[in-house]
Amino acid sequence: MSAAPLLRQVFGFDGFRPGQEEIVNAVASGRDVLAIMPTGGGKSLCYQLPALMREGLTVVISPLIALMRDQVRALTEAGVAAAALTSGNSEEDNAQVIRALNARELRLLYIAPERLASGATVPLLKRAGVEAIAVDEAHCVSQWGHDFRPDYLRVGELRRALGVPLAAFTATADAETRDEIMARLFNGTEPQIFLRGFDRPNIHLAFQPKDTPRRQILDFASARRGQSGIVYCGTRAKTETLAQALNEAGLSAIAYHGGMEPEARRAVETRFQREDGLIVTATVAFGMGIDKPDIRWVAHADLPKSIESYYQEIGRGGRDGAPAETLTLYGPEDIRLRRGQIDEGQAPPERKLADHARLNALLGLAEAATCRRAVLLGYFGETASACGNCDICAEPPDTFDGTEAVQKALSAILRTGQTYGAGHVIDVLIGNSTERISQRGHDRLPTFGVGRDIPRQQWQAILRQMMGRDLIRPDPERHGGLAITLAAHSVLRGEERILLRRDLTARARPAVVVRAQVDDEDAPLLSALKAKRRALAETARVPAYVIFPDRTLIEMAQKRPQTLDEMAHIGGIGAKKLARYGEEFLAVISGAASQMHPLRKALAGRASGALFDRLAEIQSRLSRGEDGTEKPLSVSMSALRRIAEDRPRDLARYLDAARIERFGAAFLSEIALD
């Protein structure tokens, strides 16, 4: 079957997301493919759909058991024969999967790269009739990246042993990583490369300087009550204290970090997948294995370590394509911490330079005076006009020429020996004669008091922006004292002007806007639909989104379908899910259960369903003949279904002579009109 009918019938979508169709066709035609797509851009469909378009088995190499388990559940619910062979399964479960493999009953098999170390794996896959390999999170093969998994290096050997095409997918691949993927997975031969845009237009971008940061996070989360969210924290301790504060504020929250026992971490992952509206306060340990599509917001209580980390972490929101929001808090201490982590690390000098550059890019995004999306995409080599979906586009900041203030600050840092932190430098600038300043003679410097016309709070914002532009850095060899960088020299000499944001020199106020998923009139129905979904998910012991994602429920609440035919046109409802859950959700919408015959239900939303209805009407009308006096005669529902699906020109294979005489001419006339 071709891609479009399968897309509708199995996955319930009427069209592809941008960039998907070309990749699907390339993978389905048996080409080697490397696809670099944005986080949440629909990578999994690009190998799942081709697996159904070809005969035989597709093996998917995936790095995390939780991710495999959730994808298998979702595929099974959609009627696809899929399984995972993992260490998380029981012996009985794995034996059942192996039996299905040997019987060639599966279309997709998920395995972890570590399983490739077993000598039994390749013979097993050869017997199972593997037709293609898909590699998810392919950047794990790169020793340059922080997600390196040594067993990914065995994937190239598997490809050679099976002699089948390979499709690799990742959301993170700079030039070095891309070259390494090609060398290790494709033996140096160049696959067909798809580099899709990094833009996620449904995600709203926002940054705020820290100003009572706990209150900022609480305000942001409270305005999104009932919506699933993640708060990334810089320390394990903060995840726990912030989760406690959110719970005390009446929000459902739970902490997650690498110091927890594996069983406790799995319990959090399971709760987050199954519960609506749960907030997880987490370190970056809560990451790659989270495939929940309806995360509505992602907040950072502390600055991420790089622009790539930021992009990956916010990308966990809005994977269903519906609107999602972000908020990132940052301050001078964050910048000092991140600089120190780089400088004090064990990486070689060239790697430290690269890490500082990545941090600089993130700080440039934080301090941007123009559209944040344009700045973010610019880092990834893409151009974009103002997006209209970030805080700066919503409220363009007031800027001013801060060159003179920056020069004064740089001069004060130089004259005090590049040894002191921001507080001491500001005391010098505003002329605050502390005991420490007097002892060191800094009250006799030419720069003492040259900035007394600017309040301390504004100087704090100016110095933070200078750190963000990498004009000054905390020097770890001088206990974090501020030192000027090479980039600052041109400013000191008057060769470069510096534009600063005035709004960040004032006290930052939390911009709290309550974000509703639907209009007020549809909100009660959406709540009822979510309650039904939650009950079904708990019974089936699967994540709620495996039943239906938020986006599908929102469309139900807005369109209010009254029949299974209408329900079949809601996005995300394939044939299997329509048959399994359609009537239960119709009952929530209309208050009454549908009475559609099971055989007719199988045709819901298809042209053959409408033809079935017209043939059934003809049968009812002619059951006693044209004049209503003949012996009653009927056609079985199964025969009506076959006729509606096949649209034959000759009914001899479907009806006996008596029924052809009674219904044949009218049936064929209706078929001809269809």
**CATH second-level architecture of 401-501?**
Orthogonal Bundle (1.10)
Residue 69 burial (C-beta neighbours within 10 Å; 0-12, 13-18, 19+): buried
pLDDT-flagged residues of the chain (< 70): 1, 143-148, 172-174, 287-290, 503-516, 592-597, 674
pLDDT at position 399, please? 87
In this structure, which topology does domain 3-195 adopt according to CATH?
Answer: Rossmann fold (3.40.50)
What are the residues whose beta carbons fall under 8 Å from the beta carbon of 406, sequence distance 6 or more?
A: 462, 466, 471, 491, 498, 500
* Burial 377-412, CB ≥16 within 10 A → b, else e: bebbeeebeebebbbbbeeeeeeeebeebbbbbbbb
pLDDT at position 506, please? 42
C-alpha to C-alpha distances, 588 to 78, 544, 591, 595, nearest whole angstrom? 22, 17, 5, 14
What angle (nearest 5°) sits at the alpha carbon of residue 381, between those of residues 377 and 386?
35
Beta bridge partners of 482: 474
User: Which candidate, 31, 7, 9, places its Cα nearest to that of 17?
Assistant: 7
Evaluate whether 39 touches 203 at the Cβ level (below 8 Å): no
Topology agreement, domain 3-195 and domain 203-394? yes
DSSP run (H or E) holding 59: strand 57-61
User: Which candidate, 123, 78, 141, places its Cα nearest to that of 575?
Assistant: 78
d(CA 671, CA 674): 5
What SS3 state is found at 371? coil
Q: Which residue has the tokens 């941007």?
A: 368
Q: Which residue has the tokens 């499709």?
A: 167
pLDDT at position 447, please? 94
Evaluate whether 178 touches 197 at the Cβ level (below 8 Å): no
- pLDDT tens-digit profile of 572-590? 898 889 988 988 899 889 8
Provide the total of helices (H) and of strands (E) in the chain, helices listed first: 31, 18
Beta bridge partners of 60: 110, 134
Query: Three-state secondary structure along 218-268?
Result: HHHHHCCCCCCEEEECCCHHHHHHHHHHHHHCCCCEEEECCCCCHHHHHHH
d(CA 506, CA 511): 14
In this structure, which topology does domain 203-394 adopt according to CATH?
Answer: Rossmann fold (3.40.50)
Where do the domains of the chain lie? Answer: 3-195, 203-394, 401-501, 520-601, 607-673
Let me know how long the chain is. Answer: 674
Q: 0.75 cut: is pTM over it?
A: no
The CATH code belonging to domain 520-601 is 1.10.150.80
